[in-house]
């Protein structure tokens, strides 16, 4: 599906530019975005190196295992096919914790480590059940404090920049629960078709 979306956006865009005569803009955007992507990857290096380095200390020292133990009863329910003591669980938990506090740049490296561990578990290049669940929770965003939005609201002179924290948490809660339900629904459909 991602193949179709990817090709679709580019092809529709090029055809549309033919019709509207915006080919010049497309050319410019094409190379600028390629540039931006390189810059983004490079700037990710700093974040990834820092957090993965720190996380390694947490892992070796046993801190990560302690955190896992604390939150394990809840999270094992979401990921029944991951053994409770597997390192994947620790990274999943750290990713959720970082997301909760809006530490986006700390959450990504931990999410990547979690994926890596889950891939080791499944051993294929196909998304496993737990990977899909993990992504569903991540895409529905589990932020408690939307710092960026608060900053924008402050900039435009809101009387109460943080008043949206409550509504955001509620909406996040609904979308995360929704994501988990939809995820389960799709999972049982896969099982019924015999490829769970």
**Please, which of residues 66-95 interact with another protein by CB under 8 A?**
none
CB 140 within 8 A of CB 172: yes
Q: Which of 5, 77, 192, 194 binds another protein (CB under 8 A)?
A: 5
Residue 194 dihedral angles phi and psi, to the nearest 5° = 85, 20
Segment interacting with another protein, rule: CB under 8 A, options 76-84, 85-93, 131-139: 131-139
**What is the CA angle 107-111-116, rounded to 5?**
155
Residue 6 contacts another protein per CB under 8 A: yes
Q: How far is the CB of 92 from another protein (least distance, A)?
A: 12
Q: How far apart are CA 87 and CA 103, in angstroms?
A: 21
Distances 75 to 23, 90, 132, 183 between C-alpha atoms, Å: 49, 10, 15, 15
| Span 27-46, contacts to another protein by CB under 8 A | 28-30, 32-34, 36-38, 40-42, 44-45
| Span 97-126, contacts to another protein by CB under 8 A | 101-103, 106, 108-109, 111-112, 115-116, 119, 125-126
């Amino acid at each position: 599906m991602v193949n179709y979306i990817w090709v679709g956006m580019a092809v529709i865009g090029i055809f549309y530019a033919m019709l509207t005569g915006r080919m010049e803009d497309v050319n410019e955007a094409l190379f600028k975005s390629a540039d931006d992507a390189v810059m983004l990857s490079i700037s990710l290096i700093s974040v990834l190196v820092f957090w993965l380095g720190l996380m390694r200390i947490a892992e070796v020292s046993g801190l990560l295992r302690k955190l896992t133990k604390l939150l394990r009863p809840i999270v094992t329910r979401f990921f029944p096919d991951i053994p409770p003591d597997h390192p994947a669980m620790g990274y999943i938990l750290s990713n959720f914790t970082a997301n909760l506090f809006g530490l986006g740049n700390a959450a990504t490296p931990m999410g990547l480590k979690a994926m890596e561990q889950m891939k080791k578990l499944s051993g294929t290049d196909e998304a496993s059940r737990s990977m899909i669940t993990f992504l569903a929770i991540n895409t529905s965003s589990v932020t408690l404090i939307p710092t960026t939005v608060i900053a924008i609201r402050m900039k435009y002179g809101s009387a109460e920049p943080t008043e949206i924290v409550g509504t955001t948490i509620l909406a996040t809660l609904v979308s995360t629960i929704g994501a988990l339900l939809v995820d389960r629904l799709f999972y049982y459909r896969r099982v019924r078709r015999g490829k769970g």
